[in-house]
Structure 1
Amino acid sequence: MNLFEESKKYIPGGVNSPVRAFGSVGGDPVFIKRAHGSKVYDINDKEYLDYICSWGPLILGHADEDVVNAVVNAAKNGTSFGAPTELELKLAKKVVENVPSMDMVRMVNSGTEAVMSAIRVARAYTEKDKIIKFEGCYHGHSDGLLVKAGSAALTFGQPSSPGVPDDYAKNTLVAEYNNLDSVKKLVEENKGEVAAVIVEPVAGNMGVVLPKDGFLKDLEEFCKNEGILLIFDEVITGFRLAPGGAGEYFDVDADLTTMGKIIGGGLPVGAYGGKKEIMEMVSPTGPVTQAGTLSGNPLAMAAGLATLDKVCAPGFHKNLAEKSEKLWQGMRDNCRRLNVNYAFNTIESMGCLFFKEGEVTSFKEATSSDTDKFAKFFHGMLKQGITIAPSQFEATFVSDKHSDEDIEYTIKAHYNALKDL
């Protein structure tokens, strides 16, 4: 049976998230049956070395023993209560203790829900309607944030989505990532109407695009001076760059921060938090409605706690960065050996090879990449048993389960795939 063809009869496009369909690289997606450590195995038990890591959550690799045990033990006590638990308190304390800009946090079920809720709170707190986002940054699929978005919207050439009313989208203003002047211009044109600026501190959904030196600090200062809230979307970078996320890494004090992925250890989760006076706008303390039947789900909380216990341990990020740098340096060496000048952006355990020459510091530069060449490279890696994201505009992730042997093999496979181009 062709599982993909069968799936398309019952699921739109045969997948439950667009980029999984291999639409931008061609071919049929690989159906995964199981995974462990740095490896995933398809329905025929073929082994692949995995650098998708479930799109970022699996910083500890697949089926980490401590995470699995935590989930199993939690499940034995019940899978959902719709009532407060000690587990959600423990995870909330863990997050707040590690993220310098957070006084309080609210658990939700996805990154999309976290961002949607944070923006609602920002609008209520400031009593203003408009927000500024950056072209190519992806903040989930809620209405109003699919305006010039990244991730799947970018992969499939849909920078905005049908079904979003014009009257709603008009409150979303779009600036250029790494260009503070574009933010200032929008604020000037919409004086007194902007509630918040939301940004991926490291853009991870148009490939990996790093902030220029000073960009985030200058953005923080400008927002404070203008009375505009700064929202960091750390669904990807939260606990990946540092225990305190990008806020700690770049020493920026965001007013609100959204998280997901790693804080759930591979289970569905999201969170948003920030300054106490802002978060106390949320019901039942304040008037802003936000609720969820499965928010603070005990399985996700248990997985998140087990994950953060390891991720926040002394030396974890240093060791992961050193491991990752071996891979990134090997790939850079391959490009030099083959005399190709592709842009290669990396930070800690996140990386992206763009098939273009010159820097990639913006949406425009990212989208000038040769996506046909990337598709051939993708399949070249897949044939050698390595899974990377099936899109030029997504990140490659390293986990702590990737061994020296894994990295050495990946560097060789990378060389072969580039050479074949």
Structure 2
Amino acid sequence: MFEKSINAYEEAKQVIPGGVDSPVRAFTSVGGTPPFIDRGEGAYLIDIDGNKYLDFVQSWGPLIFGHCNEEIEKAVIETVKKGLSFGAPSVLETELASEIVEMYDHIDKVRFVSSGTEATMSAIRLARGVTGRNDIIKFVGNYHGHSDSLLVQAGSGLATFGTPSSPGVPADLTKHTIVCEYNNLEDLRKCFEQSNDIACVIMEPIAGNMGLVPASAEFLKECRELCDKNGTLLILDEVMTGFRTSLTGAHGLIDVKGDIITFGKVIGAGMPVGAFAASKEIMGHLSPDGAVYQAGTLSGNPVAMAAGLTSLRKLKANPEIYEELNKKAVRLTSGLKKVAEDNGIGLQVDTRGSMFGFFFADKMPTNFKEVSEYCNFERFGKFHHEMIKRGFYFACSQYEAGFMCTVITDEMIDECIAAANEVMKTL
């Protein structure tokens, strides 16, 4: 059933560290061999053994319209025929930036990069350049990419491997990073008391790298007020949630505005892309207008811009998509919760737009520590393994969120719930 993937994994381990190019893909936390994917078709992934999976990962978020959407695919092919990369400006960059700016009343300018890691790294440098300060505050369990100053108590892949920080990162590079517990107001206030040199607070307003754990309205409000009071910039990391949870990302679901917003994944519709955006005053500090340096040969790559532009325009023309996707996410999570309860298993569920999460736990966690303490990771691993065997592809870590796409139907969701019921009986 998985023979070709098993062989492919063994071959990959000979030439690629761990056999994968991103650690969580190794299935270490759930066991078994990761399926090696041959292609995607609509709502499904097909591996090299011919196994077909209903995909609730969707390339970790960007594929709102599923795999190989005809319009996006056409835009990519037409652009590829003109060239893969220029290292020079193209009008596609301006068009995509304009679409993003038009949707936000507090964003004037966007700078494109090639990944979410680049976006957050550059946003922090910009914040430091604007404020003339050094320190940053980040939250335990929030993941903002693998740049050195941010690999302190991170979530996602690092949490999966039980590693709160990474060797190879000198202490001198993290001494300016103040770590705070997510959704903990008292801890947040203490962090501001520790330093008068805080350039920025960076946070996921809806965390998706310790499972789906939203920040509370009170916590977001206090964070905004403390930043304003202390002359600190607030960076909202929407690499995962941007254009995913609503047409304006987390911003559309919360009252708090960020001074700088980082984007990724969705604005490339599956192509490698990221971005950071802010007011013209803040972005005016960025080179070549200002002194804060940032550059990248592949930034604003025309193929990525074409894919993202097509996807965003489809979303803008059909905003009701988000309500439909949320209904599907609620249908799935409520169905999973019911079959878990029917089988005497504690399961906590939540949704934000087209994002969803579930924890094998008796209480809903609100931060990384609680996720680690409340959740039954062994049970999740068994559930994941059995669902893969039945053709349902969930994120391969309890620390990750799930995603809906437009081509997943109610019938597909019901089939998944029925399969989950079978699996729950064995847990």
TM-score per shorter chain, which class? over 0.9
1:34-183 correspondence to structure 2 within 5 Å: 34-183=39-188
C-alpha separation between the residues in 2 aligned to 1:68 and 1:295?
20
C-alpha separation between the residues in 2 aligned to 1:21 and 1:99?
38
Q: Which residue, 346, 350, 370 being the options, matches 2:351?
A: 346
- Secondary structure at the residue paired with 2:360? strand
C-alpha separation between the residues in 2 aligned to 1:372 and 1:217?
36
Aligned residue in 2 for 1:232: 236
Q: Which runs of 5+ in 1 are unaligned?
A: none
C-alpha separation between the residues in 2 aligned to 1:69 and 1:36?
15
1:223-302 correspondence to structure 2 within 5 Å: 223-302=227-306
Q: Which residue, 211, 224, 235 being the options, matches 1:220?
A: 224
Q: Which moved more, 1:156-165 or 1:209-218?
A: 209-218
- Secondary structure at the residue paired with 2:15? coil
How far off its partner does 1:339 sit? 2.9
Aligned residue in 2 for 1:11: 16
Q: Which runs of 5+ in 2 are unaligned?
A: none
C-alpha separation between the residues in 1 aligned to 2:270 and 2:258?
26
Q: Does the 8 A contact of 2:92 with 2:305 survive in 1?
A: yes
Residue 202 in 1 paired to residue 206 in 2?
yes
1:139-158 deviations in Å (ceiling 9; x for gaps): 00000101000111111111
Q: Does the 8 A contact of 1:100 with 1:248 survive in 2?
A: no
Q: Which residue, 366, 379, 390 being the options, matches 2:385?
A: 379
Aligned residue in 2 for 1:395: 401
C-alpha separation between the residues in 2 aligned to 1:390 and 1:355?
14
Matching residue's letter, 1:157: G
Q: Which moved more, 1:142-151 or 1:347-356?
A: 347-356
Residue 329 in 1 paired to residue 334 in 2?
yes
1:231-279 deviations in Å (ceiling 9; x for gaps): 0000010001111111222021100000000000000000001121111
Matching residue's letter, 2:418: K
Q: Does the 8 A contact of 2:244 with 2:266 survive in 1?
A: yes
C-alpha separation between the residues in 1 aligned to 2:205 and 2:412?
29
Q: Does the 8 A contact of 2:334 with 2:349 survive in 1?
A: no
- Secondary structure at the residue paired with 2:31? coil
Matching residue's letter, 2:254: F
The percent of aligned pairs where both chains have the same amino acid is 50
Q: Which residue, 354, 360, 368 being the options, matches 1:355?
A: 360
Matching residue's letter, 1:276: K
Cα-Cα RMSD: 1.1
Q: Does the 8 A contact of 2:268 with 2:304 survive in 1?
A: yes
Q: Does the 8 A contact of 1:230 with 1:256 survive in 2?
A: yes
How far off its partner does 1:342 sit? 2.1
Q: Does the 8 A contact of 1:135 with 1:149 survive in 2?
A: yes
C-alpha separation between the residues in 2 aligned to 1:219 and 1:24?
33
How far off its partner does 1:22 sit? 0.7
Q: Does the 8 A contact of 1:149 with 1:160 survive in 2?
A: yes
Aligned residues: 420
Matching residue's letter, 1:294: L
1:74-103 deviations in Å (ceiling 9; x for gaps): 001111111111111010011111133321
TM superposition score normalised by structure 1: 0.98
Matching residue's letter, 1:281: H
